Amino acid sequence: MKKKRQLKRHPVIFGEVLFDHFPDGSAVLGGAPFNVAWHLQGFGHAPLFISRVGDDEAGHRVKRAMQNWGLDTAGIQTDGQHPTGTVEIRFEGAQHSFNILPDQAYDYIDAGLTQKAIGAMQPALLYHGTLIARTPAVRHVLNDLVTVTKAPVFVDLNLRDPWWHEDQLTPLLDRARWVKVNEEELGLVAKRLGLRPRSIENAARSIHANYQLDSLLVTLGEHGAMAVDSSRDLVHVEPGQEIEVVDTVGAGDAFASVVLLGLLEGWTTSITMTRAQSFASRICAQRGATSADTEMYRELMHRWATDNGNVQPSD
């Protein structure tokens, strides 16, 4: 029981925080790790989010947003030489593309300041994506963080060209306990392993076994998601009802946040997947990857505490 209570109190989220800049001049706060930390805070857990921002107006906005939401800013470093992260969004007809700028503040996360923020904390788990590992310096900080904390690792693949290389995948996946991918990323990992699976399910089972994962989670867009868990059982969930999709940005981050919530709360794979899919669909029905609606998070936790899963919310 003591270990489960630790899990409720100590998730660490490591990665980028940035602004998506649109052609109309608007800028939206985000970054997959930031979005995940935001949702966990909304659900009543208090994650320590570790990142780095510039000593600029954008960096000040990040800190104000976190403070207003109740997120701990102890893990946010300030960089006087590099700007707060920026992604330029471009539209070509109905399609959009991302230009993730280099040499951003989050590319210079400092090892000493990271260890100071962690202190004597014993994280229940450590979440990170792949974009944050695009530079050797931050990969070194991340490696040290994993070694020092001995925290089980959740890796969220987010393979954005040109900011990843195949030879970086194996070290990241070798130390992971849980991995989340989308269908395209599943294929890339399978190719890296030299696999020629007959189906998505076979690919997922093979990758799960190869890296000896507790869980491999695969998001499938409008077709829902599936997971292979430690028993090698396959769980598949689909959107439960027709929704009017407003914005799919951040759906994967919403899904990941509830998977982490399930790990922290001790939910079964089936319950976790159902709730993660439901929350991802809910985020798709709004504009933006996060929500400042505290009542939404409370209502969901109350519903999940009283449904057939009979899982209680955090203290």
DSSP string, 222-248: GG-EEEE-TT--EEEE--SS----S--
For residue 93, name the pLDDT band (cuts at 50, 70, 90): low
CATH topology assigned to domain 2-305: UDP-N-acetylmuramoyl-L-alanine:D-glutamate ligase (3.40.1190)
In the chain, helix, strand, coil percent, each to 5?
45, 20, 35
Closest Cα to residue 40, out of 255, 309, 248? 255
Q: What is the pLDDT of residue 309?
A: 56
Give the pairing type, strands 176-182 and 215-219.
parallel
Give mean pLDDT, residues 264-283: 95
Contacts of 254 (CB under 8 A, 6+ apart): 35, 39, 276, 279, 280, 282, 283, 289
pLDDT at position 5 over 90: no
Q: State the amino acid at position 141 in one-letter form.
A: V
For residue 9, name the pLDDT band (cuts at 50, 70, 90): low
Q: What is the pLDDT of residue 239?
A: 87
Choice among 75-79, 172-176, 244-248 with the minimum mean pLDDT: 244-248
Burial of 13 (0-12, 13-18, 19+ CB in 10 A): buried
Q: What is the pLDDT of residue 216?
A: 98
Give the pairing type, strands 125-129 and 153-156.
parallel
Give mean pLDDT, residues 68-80: 98
The answer to whether the CB of 290 falls within 8 A of the CB of 39 is yes
Choice among 123-127, 238-242, 251-255 with the minimum mean pLDDT: 238-242
Q: What is the pLDDT of residue 312?
A: 45
DSSP string, 68-103: HHT-B-TTEEEESSSPPEEEEEEEETTEEEEEE-SS
Closest Cα to residue 184, out of 176, 192, 175? 192
User: DSSP H helical segments within 163-293, as ranges?
Assistant: 166-174, 183-192, 200-210, 251-265, 269-284
The string of pLDDT tens digits covering residues 22-56 is 888 889 999 999 999 999 999 999 999 999 999 99
Q: Residue ranges per domain, the chain?
A: 2-305
77 backbone dihedrals φ, ψ, rounded to 5°? -90, 155
* Percent of the chain at pLDDT exceeding 90: 76
Q: How far apart are alpha carbons 288 and 240 in whole angstroms? A: 21
The string of pLDDT tens digits covering residues 126-141 is 999 999 999 999 999 9
Q: What is the pTM of this model?
A: 0.93
Give mean pLDDT, residues 152-172: 92
pLDDT at position 1 over 60: no
Closest Cα to residue 188, out of 173, 177, 175? 173
Q: What is the pLDDT of residue 24?
A: 86
The string of pLDDT tens digits covering residues 243-266 is 778 878 889 999 999 999 999 999
Mean residue pLDDT of the chain comes to 91
Q: What is the pLDDT of residue 90?
A: 81
Choice among 27-36, 231-240, 265-274 with the minimum mean pLDDT: 231-240
Q: Which residue has the higher pLDDT, 192 or 310?
A: 192
For residue 6, name the pLDDT band (cuts at 50, 70, 90): very low
Q: What is the pLDDT of residue 4?
A: 37
Give mean pLDDT, residues 148-157: 96
Q: What is the pLDDT of residue 243?
A: 74
How many helices (H) and strands (E) would you count in the chain? 11, 13
Q: How far apart are alpha carbons 299 and 72 in whole angstroms? A: 23
pLDDT at position 179 over 80: yes
| Exposure letters 73-93 (e unless 16+ CB within 10 A, then b) | bebbbebeebbbbbbebeeee
Q: What is the pLDDT of residue 308?
A: 60
